[in-house]
Structure 1
């Protein structure tokens, strides 16, 4: 038995991201990719229309945001609500699972943001040694 299989058994989960064919790997990739993380973090603040979300996630292209939202919706993390109005109105919000995942991501984001002075100092030291 591999270490990842042992860990999965200890946690009592039938999935392990360490296993090559495990479907959880795709979801982890959607969640932890740059745009997935930022999109989930933004949606934790509330419901957004597409262009509002695009403005909130500064730097994301329309195509990339669309792909990200589709992947997160497919994984059950984002709910897409189309209103039958003219013009059509589409809102995006987190599902309960999406809120749980986003809360954990926000803790990581806050940890990174709060450590940036140390990170920048480490980068400068590294660059000076390598320079």
Structure 2
């Protein structure tokens, strides 16, 4: 296991770091859909995830964007159009997400 020391001098591990980026109930699901389905609009993601509240999903999308895992493009149209897609960094998570998908499918 890789253990790192952050700027506070506290120990942290690579799993902790990863969970800070993709942890939360919906981030991995959002990443999975963008990785498998490609670029999606907000309402398309929303339709794939009926159990998530709008406020929560907006927050999760914003955090994923801030962490550089997804990109958000807003088109100046009426009505406004926003599309989300995985960044190159986000795509590096696909092997992990595929393995999670495989494991979950086997356990169902």
Using structure 2 for the length normalisation, give the TM-score. Answer: 0.80
For structure 2, the 5+ residue unaligned runs are: none
Structure scoring higher RCO (CA < 8 A, sep ≥ 6) equals: 2
Secondary structure of 1:92's counterpart equals strand
For structure 1, the 5+ residue unaligned runs are: 117-131
Residue correspondences, number: 104
Matched, 1:19 2:16: no
Deviation at 1:99, TM superposition (A): 1.3
Secondary structure of 1:34's counterpart equals coil
Q: Which residue of 1 aligns with 2:26?
A: 35
Preserved CA contact (<8 Å) 1:78 1:98: yes
Secondary structure of 2:77's counterpart equals coil
Q: Which has the higher strand share?
A: 2
Supply the RMSD in Å over aligned alpha carbons: 2.7
Q: Which residue of 2 aligns with 1:64?
A: 56
**Structure with greater Cα Rg:** 1
Task: List, as ranges, runs of 4+ consecutive aligned residues in structure 1 with deviation greater than 6 Å.
Answer: none
Q: Which residue of 2 aligns with 1:128?
A: none
